[in-house]
Amino acid sequence: MKQSIEELVQKLIEGDKFATARLISLAENDPKVAQKIISLIFPYTGKAHVIGVTGPPGSGKSTLVYRLAKEWRKRGKTVGIVAVDPTSPFTGGALLGDRIRMQELTCDSGCFIRSMATRGTLGGLARATKDAVRILDASGKDIIIVETVGAGQSEVSIVKLAHTILVVLCPGLGDEIQILKAGIMEIGDIFVVNKADRENADETAMQIEDMLNMASTIRFNETGWIPPVVKTSAIHNMGISELIDRIEEHWRFLNKVNRDVYFRKRVEQDVIEALRSKIEQMALNHIMKNGEYDELIKKVANKEVDPYTAADIILNSILHREEEPKENE
């Protein structure tokens, strides 16, 4: 039985799990289908609070996400989880330490878990993740958690789709300071020192506070929010409730203090991003057809043409193409 996208969207809006999973897969596999889905569901989006969870591998992000989801469910919220972590797929079992706990969430009708494929996602992982979040949003989830491993630039760009970003570190991880310097510090709204059951958790928390104090002027200018440092022990279910209080405090802050500026900026970024990817796709589709592209790239490699001029050549070629049909009319 094959259902149309319209039928699936109707079911999605009613909160149907199968339709949610199906639509995320369809969007993931084809950007054109994704566009159709997004245009149908867009009026139903914009209600969820999206939480990004990033940090080095092994800091306990997945365990923490599980605890957060459980606690939110207890507080009566529905939860969607998107795991974008090539090092430990959320459904792999090992990352939660306990497969049964995982199944507990999967069987809960108020909870939806999805692992993003890191290979073969057309149009990029960031695009697919954003669409998955929108689909979960339209399905009526109150809270959407996106887990990424905070190693590189692309993960940072993915987690930026969140309203509230948690940077999860832990004691004894080695060079927290290095990690903070590597660009994660600027994006964190809340810093979590997980594994607080271990030694040196206070020391680590203090180190982070010091770093934040040094950088607080930058943060302050941006939104006025001062990122708190929260200690948790995900395996022992400690500090979770406090962490959720902080996350909700940040959400209230965004909605009250900065609402118009903040949400307008985000929408604007969405439009610019969509525009950029469309222009890029159009330009590449056009120029790749007739061997022009290979030749041009070769010229740049040989220093005959610089990258800006190459871009001009491509753009001119598109503009020229669009004038042609008019002349023939």
For residue 180, give the DSSP letter. I
Shortest spacing between CB 205 and ligand GDP, in angstroms: 14
Question: Judged by CB under 5 A, how many residues of this single chain contact Mg ion?
Answer: 5
What pairing do the DSSP bridges indicate for beta strands 164-169 and 49-54? parallel
Structure tokens at 72: 């939110």
Interacting partner of 207 out of ligand GDP, Mg ion, none (Cβ under 5 to 8 A depending on kind)? none
Minimum Å gap between C-beta 237 and ligand GDP is: 9
Give the span between the Cα atoms of 25 and 18, in whole angstroms: 11
Which of 138/169 has CB closer to ligand GDP? 169
- Choose, by CB under 5 A, the member of 38, 95, 111, 296 that binds Mg ion: 95
> Among ligand GDP, Mg ion, none, what does residue 155 contact (CB within 5–8 Å per kind)?
none
Count CB neighbours of 59 within 10 A.
Answer: 26
Binding partner selected for residue 233 from Mg ion, ligand GDP, none, CB under the kind-specific 5 to 8 Å limit: ligand GDP
Footprint of ligand GDP on this chain (CB under 6 A)? 57-63, 88, 95, 97, 194-195, 197-198, 233-235
Residue 155 binds Mg ion, judged by CB under 5 A: no
CB 196 within 8 A of CB 188: no
Out of Mg ion, ligand GDP, none, what residue 60 binds, judged by CB under 5 to 8 A for its kind, is: ligand GDP
Tell how strand 79-84 and strand 143-148 pair up: parallel
Please return the burial class of 94, using the count of CB atoms within 10 Å of its CB with bins 0-12, 13-18 and 19+: exposed
Residue with Cβ nearer ligand GDP (134 or 246):
246
Which is nearer to ligand GDP, 9 or 144 (by Cβ)?
Answer: 144
- What does DSSP assign to residue 157? H
Of 20, 59, 88, 121, the residue at the interface with Mg ion (CB under 5 A) is 88
Which segment (78-86, 165-173, 249-257, 319-327) binds Mg ion by CB under 5 A?
78-86
Judged by beta carbon distances under 5 to 8 A according to partner kind, the member of Mg ion, ligand GDP, none in contact with residue 110 is: none
Q: For ligand GDP, which residue has the nearest CB?
A: 60
User: Which span (56-64, 260-268, 274-282, 290-298) binds Mg ion, by CB under 5 A?
Assistant: 56-64
Residue number with the smallest Cβ distance to Mg ion: 62
Q: Which is nearer to ligand GDP, 9 or 201 (CB)?
A: 201
Q: What minimum distance in Å lies between the beta carbon of 197 and ligand GDP? A: 5
Closest CA to 186 of 155, 156, 146, 148: 156
Distance (Å, rounded) from C-alpha 34 to C-alpha 28? 7
Complete DSSP assignment for 97-127: S-HHHHHHHHH-TTEEEEEPPSSS-TT-HHH
Cβ contacts of residue 212 below 8 Å, gap of 6+? 185, 191, 219, 226, 227, 229
Largest Cα separation within the chain, whole Å, is 77
Q: Which does 97 bind (CB under 5 to 8 A by kind): Mg ion, ligand GDP, none?
A: ligand GDP
- 136, 203, 232, 255, 295 from 154: Cα distances, Å: 22, 30, 27, 27, 29
> Does 85 contact Mg ion by CB under 5 A?
yes
- Asked if 68 is part of the footprint of Mg ion (rule: CB under 5 A), the reply reads no
Binding residues for Mg ion (CB under 5 A): 61-62, 85, 88, 95
